[in-house]
Amino acid sequence: MRKTLICALVCALSLGLAACGGSAPPGAVGSASRGQLSAGEPIKIGSLHPLSGSAAADGQQMDNGARLAVEAINAAGGIASLGGAKLELLGADTQGKPEIGQSEAQRLISEGAVGLIGTYQSAVTANVAAVAERNKVPLVIDVSNADSILQQGYRYAFRVQPNATVLGTHGARYLNEVSAAAGKPAKTVAIFHEHGPFGVAVRDAFTAEAQRLGIQVGPVISYDPASVPDLTTQMTQVKAADVDVLMVAGYHRDAVLVAQAAQTVQPGVDAVFGVGNGGFDLPQFPADVGAAGNGFLNTNFHADMTNPRTRELAQLYRDRFGEEIRTAAVLAYDAVRVIAKALEEAGSADPTALRDAIAKGEFETLVAAPGPISFLENGENRNAVPILMQVQDGEVKQVHPTSFEEAAPVYPATPAAR
Amino acid sequence: MNPAVGSPAGAEQAVPASVAQAVDGDEGAVAGARSTRQRLLWLRFGVVVAAVALAVVMALIRSGSGVVVTQSIVTGLLIGGVYGLAAMGLTLVFGVLDIINFAHGSFLAFALFVTYWLVSVGGVHPYLALVVVVPVMFGLGVLVQRGVLAKAMSEPLENQLLITLGLAMIVENGLLLLFGPDPRAVALPGDHGVPVLGAVADLSRILAAAGALVLAGLLFLLLQRTKLGTAIRAVATNSTGAQLVGIDTRRIHLLTFGIGTACAGAAGTLVAPLVTIEPTTGAMFNIVAFVVVVLGGMGNVVGALLGGLVIGLTEQVGALLLPGHSPLLAVFIVFVLVLFLRPQGLFGRSA
């Protein structure tokens, strides 16, 4: 009996720990000597990413990306307008936990970081953004797509990647364009989405735009990306509904389950179409699922492999770290360069001057986008627009819009049987 | 024959019943108490089946498609087998050593990585990896018990709990250090969909569930039909008593923890083709395994298998009944109900 109670308590506790987190950020640190550089002292940039925990793969890539950017800038002579001052990256592990991200952000700022980049998980970013605002230190968000982060009226938070609403809206448009061009316009779409804020926001934006374009949406099925063991039943629901396309908004582990279930159940759709999907456009996705993932489409912000400078970075990354670079790492690379260029233009390492330079400036990007990074009043990047990718012959290829095309889209792309 | 190894005494029934379980050869006087218990067990089993049937009918009404419901039942049973598999070693250690082994999930993850390594580097068939994984994990379990846990056996429950929690972190982060954070996959050669009553199931899932049945059978035989098993049950029932009749309880503890860890190893290899292999994969199994253990009755190996099936079905059918929620919602509704009505678990005896 006692054992039962303790065990139940343990279960409840571990669930509770996973669920909670995120209290109010503590007060600002003293800012007597903000941005005062003595000669030869490096300018510190804080990098907050999940280096351990379930998102460690992306987190470590992003930390690597940020380090490569700092190295490149220092090798090219540092910040010229500040007497060639060098940059120094202060790395921190958020563990993917909001409260850890918050305290680490506070720590990096007290250690003299003049700007922050990060963090990957929206819940963590929300807390870090609050700390940055409180301390008047600019935060350049590389990855995190929850719309709500920038709806707080913050002046010190900027986001490089598109938010969930932009992803969902463009997803519906691209699906409409590509399917119509192939002569098999999608008329009915079923949705799988992870049940967190990201999946819900993408679902809502996608549904609104799809309905505007005359596409019927349903059934809509949500799941818990952390614990869902299998998606066969859900795939059978899609099959029973007899729809044209299956839209999926989720992460890597569940993306693998989607591919396996599609291969087993054969839902009879024209395409499996990801929107902001964290799995379908990763370099190792085709390797992990084999032929099951062939033809999968995904609308996402993506490193522009038609840009020679991106390919150069990808090669450097491969040589240094022995694996393929992911878009998340390219975004971290871009985020550091945003801060570096803004420092150059501000001619000062004062965080407030840096913030103003970021808000005013235009910054080159290695990600597929219609223009340079440049921020709106609310901190969103006005040129953050996703593109469409497809798994073709075991490789992720850019297929739409035409200006970023590495290969023509294949449509219909019915999931292969075994 | 009662499959349970845990719970000191059957307070619900007459006292001699517990003696009968502890020592294999039981006679006459206790037969009456035993048949009452058998009847109660069947009654409980019937209630569970009736509840499942009701849920299925409701799911059928709600989804309106027979194939979808069939699929959810097939998937639920197969996943349930996997859950039972993951929980078996945990329940054994629970019942005999009174240790809540928080490291069980990370042992499972460790086995996943060993399997991955054998398959990718050694090129062996995934199931052939069992030959290596099971002995290695047994050895690891014995080492952990001897080196770390044996000293804490007489200490309060919290100490052991913290030790296993620490072990879990060491294993998980050790794997992160060694293999890196990239998700990995093991493919079963020749894996394909098998039609089952209009639904489909991957061969690898069917084999994993079958593996769970075999493992439960083997453990049952070990516990009920061998001298070692009798000794293990004796230690579970009354450690001091077992010591008095000449059983080396330290050795039994070592072997039991070893067997429990070997079970995690077997589970790891069997589920390797079904999951994305990451250092954190084990943690995912931990919560469900704890629920299964409590549901099945602590220390009850066959109960763990049945508990796993109940959880698997609840999760899948529950997702149809309560769309838009975590599958754990339905699982915990059932869990709380069971704890409320039968705190000793569905198939356990009262403590």
The tokens for B219 are 């453990």
Q: Tokens 């009701």 appear where?
A: B54
Provide the pLDDT for residue B167.
93
CATH number of the domain located at residue range(s) A165-300+387-404 in this protein = 3.40.50.2300
How far, in Å, CA of A221 to CA of B323, rounded?
A: 7
Domain of residue B277: give its range: 16-341
Number of domains in chain B: 1
For residues A162 and B13, the model is more confident at A162
Q: Closest Cα to residue A338, out of A153, A155, A115?
A: A115
Provide the pLDDT for residue B85.
87
Provide the pLDDT for residue B351.
38
Q: What DSSP line would sit under B8-40, residue for residue?
A: S--TTS-THHHHHHHSS---GGGHHHHHHHHHH
Q: How far does B343 lie from chain A, in Å, by closest CA?
A: 7
> Of the candidates B71, B98, B326, which has its C-beta nearest A224's C-beta?
B326
The tokens for A224 are 């818990």
Say yes or no: A54 contacts chain B, CB-CB below 8 A. yes
CB A313 within 8 A of CB A366: yes
Query: Which of A 248-267 lie inside 8 A of B, CB atoms?
Result: 252-253, 256, 260, 263-266
CB A97 within 8 A of CB A71: no
Provide the pLDDT for residue A75.
94
Provide the pLDDT for residue A403.
85
Burial B308-339 (b: 16+ CB within 10 A, else e): bbbbbbbbbbbbbbebeebbbbbbbebbeebb
Query: How confident is residue B51, by pLDDT bands cut at 50, 70 and 90?
Result: confident
In chain B, how many H helices and how many E strands?
A: 13, 2
Provide the pLDDT for residue A27.
41
* Residue A376 pLDDT > 50: yes
Provide the pLDDT for residue B23.
42
Q: How far is CA B25 from CA A362, B36, B220, in A?
A: 85, 19, 17
Whether ipTM exceeds 0.90: no
- Average the pLDDT over B36-49 and give the result: 79
Q: Who's near A378: CB < 8 A, 6+ residues apart?
A: A150, A151
How far, in Å, CA of A194 to CA of A121, rounded?
A: 14
Q: Who's near A343: CB < 8 A, 6+ residues apart?
A: A43, A79, A81, A82, A114, A115, A349, A354, A357
Rg over CA atoms, chain A? 22
Q: Closest Cα to residue A303, out of A277, A331, A284?
A: A331
Provide the pLDDT for residue B14.
39
* Residue B140 pLDDT > 70: yes
CB atoms within 10 A of CB B39: 10
Provide the pLDDT for residue B6.
44
CB A360 within 8 A of CB A147: no
What φ, ψ does residue B291 adopt, rounded to 5°? -60, -45
Reported as a single tens digit per residue, the pLDDT across B263-310 is 999 999 999 988 888 888 888 888 888 889 888 887 888 888 888 998
Provide the pLDDT for residue A3.
55
Q: What DSSP line would sit under A91-125, residue for residue?
A: EEE-TT-HHHHHHHHHHHHHTTEEEEEE-SSHHHH
Provide the sign of the torsion angle of the four alpha carbons B301, B303, B309, B315, taken in this order.
negative
Q: Tokens 């995912």 appear where?
A: B284
Provide the pLDDT for residue A170.
93
* Residue A55 pLDDT > 50: yes
- Whether residue B346 lies inside any domain: the answer is no
Q: How far does B134 lie from chain A, in Å, by closest CA?
A: 24
For residues B326 and B21, the model is more confident at B326
For chain A, how far is it from start to end, CA to CA, in angstroms?
A: 49
Reported as a single tens digit per residue, the pLDDT across B144-166 is 999 988 888 888 888 888 999 99
What is the SS3 assignment for B338? helix
For residues B40 and A376, the model is more confident at A376
The tokens for A379 are 């901190």
- Average the pLDDT over A263-287 and give the result: 89
Query: Which of A 181-220 lie inside 8 A of B, CB atoms?
Result: 195
- Whether residue B2 lies inside any domain: the answer is no
Contact A233 B75 (CB under 8 A): yes
Reported as a single tens digit per residue, the pLDDT across B58-96 is 888 877 777 888 888 888 999 899 899 889 999 999 888
> Of the candidates B65, B183, B350, which has its C-beta nearest A57's C-beta?
B183
CB A170 within 8 A of CB A299: yes
- Average the pLDDT over A248-268 and give the result: 89
> Of the candidates B184, B284, B294, which has its C-beta nearest A4's C-beta?
B294
How far, in Å, CA of A130 to CA of A142, rounded?
A: 16
CB A4 within 8 A of CB B290: no
- Average the pLDDT over A16-45 and give the result: 55
Contact B315 A229 (CB under 8 A): yes
Query: How confident is residue A157, by pLDDT bands cut at 50, 70 and 90?
Result: very high
Q: How far does A327 lie from chain B, in Å, by closest CA?
A: 15
Global confidence as pTM: 0.79
For residues B190 and B174, the model is more confident at B174
How far, in Å, CA of A161 to CA of A299, rounded?
A: 13
How far, in Å, CA of B282 to CA of B168, rounded?
A: 9
Query: How many Å is the maximal CA-CA distance in chain B?
Result: 62
Q: Minimal Cα distance from A256: which residue of B?
A: B276
Say yes or no: A297 contacts chain B, CB-CB below 8 A. no
* Cα-to-chain-centroid distance, residue B277: 20
What is the average pLDDT score of chain B?
A: 82
For residues B9 and A168, the model is more confident at A168
CATH match of A41-162+307-360 with 3.40.50.150: no
- Average the pLDDT over A179-197 and give the result: 89
How far, in Å, CA of A232 to CA of B37, rounded?
A: 39
| Domain CATH code at residue B257 | 1.10.3470
CB A125 within 8 A of CB A119: yes
How far, in Å, CA of A42 to CA of A44, rounded?
A: 6
Q: Closest Cα to residue B141, out of B266, B261, B269, B268?
A: B261
